[in-house]
Structure 1
């Protein structure tokens, strides 16, 4: 069963809600819950990496310009300069002032990666509960 976090993350990734609505939901959470959501999105990113796509740092570098943040913000720099697993760990440990930027960076990357997965592995339908929300 999808949690509220799963529901909102996937609803945004599938363009069923706008970023502004997602941000209102995220901003309503306390610091601990925000950190948990950021970590949750990071885990979703790792799971969404399509096996049939040659995934590498170049793919992340292609996604980053579409992230609606300044390219000089810390989460973006980490994603550009570190391998994904290391960048995620560093993002998880950023101070609370970086929560919103971190979440925006990660949810944008997840959205892109999930689109790839839905258009490759799941293009003929799937049983993923998170791909079948309304």
Structure 2
């Protein structure tokens, strides 16, 4: 993947939103998403972590969501991102971790978001949802 320029902020955010929601809905694997994330410059990775943290906050992640997401993420439960997201209330500042932990932080955040967003799609949004990101077309990976 080629990196977008700093002028492409909104487009990049839309790309991040697409990738994260595809992972959450099972249209893209977590490994494929992590590979996309790994191909970004460190500054972009930090931006993505902040953006995905915002998605997780909007999805109202709980400590239980954190534990379920960490279990799906493939990241050790004792790793910093895992511990932070499982606190009650969760700590979302994963972009403040050392860059060496960013890939694990991405895996944890997206996995936890997937758990919380699925719960919301199956309850709050069931049958009457107008959120475009909850209705992605299949076969995008």
Q: Note if contact 2:64-2:86 (Cα within 8 Å) is conserved in structure 1.
A: no
- Match of residue 114 from structure 1: 117
Residue segments in structure 2 that go unaligned for 5+ positions in a row: 1-10
Q: Note if contact 2:69-2:108 (Cα within 8 Å) is conserved in structure 1.
A: no
Alignment of 1:73 onto 2:76: no
Partner of residue 42 from structure 1, selected from 33, 47, 53: 53
Going from structure 1 to structure 2, the CA distance change for 1:23 and 1:63 (only over 3 Å counts) comes to closer
- Match of residue 19 from structure 1: 30
- Match of residue 52 from structure 1: none
> Relative contact order, CA 8 A, sep 6+: which one is greater?
1
RMSD: 2.0
Alignment TM-score, normalising by the size of structure 1: 0.83
Partner of residue 132 from structure 1, selected from 112, 124, 135: 135
